[in-house]
Structure 1
Amino acid sequence: MKKGLIAVGVLAILLIGAIVTLATVDFNRMGKDNAYYQIPAKSTVEETKLDSGEIIKRYLYTGTAYKENGESIEVEFSAAKELKEGAYLKLYLKKGNAVTSYDEVQPSDIPDKVKF
């Protein structure tokens, strides 16, 4: 009986740990390469009309980003809102130049080898 309660307790702790991990870890950023990108003056807006009549806007960005070693790459990604002109982004990349996520960063956070 006591062993059964201990086993149930251990399983409950493992389940809670798994739930907390899934809720807090952003797998779109985990283990990804990084590149840095400066938001241009203009973005392309893509509008999609839903069956309900609601219009959804996506802002498309394309251009040159720079890896931490200074290597330039071409990237393309979208955002649900228009990003601030001139802002710097840290892009999270998988398999070359596919952007999975981004964070706005300060110029002081950008590696010295990256030149815009």
Structure 2
Amino acid sequence: MKKFFTVAGIIFLIGAAGAFALTKIDFNRMNADHYYVQITEDGTKHDTKLGDGSVMTSYSYRLKATNADGETEPLEFTAQKNLRKDAYLKVYVKGEDKVSSYDEVKFEEIPKKAQEKLK
């Protein structure tokens, strides 16, 4: 009986740790390359009509992105709102050019080589 409770306790702890990981870890940012962009203009507005008749609005952006080494490449991504002009974003890119997530950052948080390209 003691073995049963020990095994049950271990299984419970593993399950609790897994549930915690699923709620706290952002898998869109794991193993992603980091690029930095500055929002210089309004995004292109796109309205999509959903099955229930409601309209979903999104905004697309095509900007030059710079990595920490100062290398620049064009990136295209969408946002659920029109992003603030002159904001700096840390963009998470998976694969060739798939933007999976982004965060607004301060200019001082951007690596020096990328800062030089974004000025």
TM score, norm. by length of structure 1: 0.96
Q: What is aligned with 1:107?
A: 107
Please give the TM-score of this superposition, normalised by the length of structure 2. Answer: 0.94
Mapping of residues 4-19 of structure 1, within 5 Å: 4-19=4-19
Q: 1:85 — aligned with what?
A: 85
Instruction: For 1:44-55, list aligned pairs within 5 A.
Output: 44-55=44-55
Instruction: Describe the superposition over 1:30-68 as per-residue Cα deviations: whole angstroms up to 9, x where unpaired.
Output: 121100001122210000112222111011011100011
Q: Distance in 1 between matches of 2:34 and 2:48?
A: 30
2:8 counterpart letter in structure 1: V
Distance 1:39 1:105 in 2: 12
Partner of 2:21, secondary structure, is helix
Q: Which segments of structure 1 move beyond 3 Å, counting only runs of 4 or more?
A: none
Structure 2: runs of 5 or more not aligned: none
* CA distance in structure 2 between the aligned counterparts of 1:92 and 1:42, rounded to whole angstroms: 20
How many residues align? The count is 116
Q: Hey, what does 1:28 align to over in structure 2?
A: 28
Q: State the percentage of identical aligned residues.
A: 39
Q: Is the 8 A contact 2:89 2:104 kept in 1?
A: yes
Please provide the CA RMSD for this pair. 0.8
In 2, are the aligned partners of 1:73 and 1:97 still within 8 Å (CA)? no
